[in-house]
Structure 1
Amino acid sequence: MSLEIITENRCFEGRQLRFRHRAETLDCDMHGAIYLPPQAAREPVPLLYWLSGLTCTDENFVQKAGAQRYAAEHGVAIVAPDTSPRGDDVPDDPEGSWDLGLGAGFYLNASQDPWQRHYRMYDYITDELPELLPEAFPVDPERSSIFGHSMGGHGALVIALHNPARYASVSAFAPIVAPTRCPWGEKAFSHYLGPDREAWKAYDSCELIAAGAPQLPMLIDQGEADNFLESQLKTELLEQACQENSYEATIRRHPGYDHSYYFIASFVGSHIGFHARALEQAAG
């Protein structure tokens, strides 16, 4: 089924759109959002993927981050997919918790039942969307970068580290950098990927850097007043992995900032500028 536009709003002389389509990868209907800057009216523009965190949908970033202003300034499109498959037949956490199942896809390909039929967010982001988007919008999938928040920061880092030729740069706000070593990741991975912890390492950015992932421009912002910093995010493990493996990354800590979209809105402009510069250099 082709992509269907369901809402459109004028924004900073560009267009903020919400769409839906049948996702073959996920075997369900999916929603997504895309901002097209004014430059897209003249020619295809670079594409910046945004991956949101636990409990979010495709709408949180669009409505709260204030990113459209900067996307219009730099002439980049931003696509915000949903965080998991959705639908009546899509399995959810049997305990009704928010950190597994709907809204918590973790941007991986599940290998265990009952998850593996639908929970293939890695393939959805890396394969299906890049084919779908240029058919519907004036975007250039050959000029792409990726960023995200929390669980989405984890997804952005892992996807970029696995596909360094596909993305000009990667950045994250408060990412889960070592999901194999935190409660959120251990719960999700044990369900989606099974008990073999070696298999988990494919979705852990610290493990990928330690294994020799190719260098990409990388920017990380972390609030020091983040309630999840010590227990779930463990930024120090990424700092350690980068130092031990000579991986160049800009990792910034910000006193007083928490895990919320107030934090994201404060620095999203610098992230979009960072990606715009990387995309321009890659094109040159």
Structure 2
Amino acid sequence: MKLKISEWNKKTIRRVYSVLLVLIGFIIVIFNDTFGRLEGFVEFIAFYFILVFIAIAFWLFKQIRLIIRLKNEKSKTELMHLKSQVNPHFFFNTLNNLYGLVGKDAKKAQELILKLSEMMRYSIYEGDKETVLISEEVTYLENYIELHKMRYHKVIDIQFNIEMTDIDYEIMPLLFIILLENAFKHGVENLRENAYVHINLVTQNNEVNFEIENNFDATEDKHEEGIGLHNLKRRLELVYPKKHTLSLTKTNAIYNAKLNIHL
């Protein structure tokens, strides 16, 4: 209640101040001939215009601050929406695999459910935060890789090389998973043999470098930029403007993605 009264008082004072400025200006214009002959009139006019300038400057400042606040709120809302789009079809695919696996191999299904629950917990609770530790993101990626190893009935050459300094940097969550997911979805899924996914993560000097390379079936090349990559690019623009580079290259049957972030 006190807050409301205080806010009401502020608005009333601003209105009274504005009315007084207009009223004084109106009186000066009407009675200019009379006031013009009074001593100190020039100083009064100068003081009056200073007050008018302050009032206009204050109003402009408030409008600019309001625009910035609305823009920030819009960016936060968009970012939350983008985060909510990450990984849903992966979870659906895994659940479908679980359905078929339960009747065939109950023990493997249990392991798969446990891994999946860990990933879902991370996506829901940690993924909602502004930043997480990179070590936590690494664990999430490792769980993702383990899940895929359990899903497939073929040999996949998966290498995950990590070079991290003693500093466990913080980063926006669920960035790397989009690139890793693409490597499996467009590469491993369609290759019957010799499939590989090589991942390198290096952190040093307040920089994070993430690189992933995979091969794919060139005869079934449908590797178009989907919702996931659009999502990733927009999130990077919102959180790391002019502090990141993302390069995606495709040569013959090899796809390479490099992400560099300055923290």
| TM superposition score category, shorter chain reference | under 0.3
The structure where strand makes up a greater share of residues is: 1
The structure where helix makes up a greater share of residues is: 2
Instruction: Provide TM-score, normalisation by structure 2.
Output: 0.26
Larger RCO of the pair (alpha carbons < 8 Å, separation 6+): 1
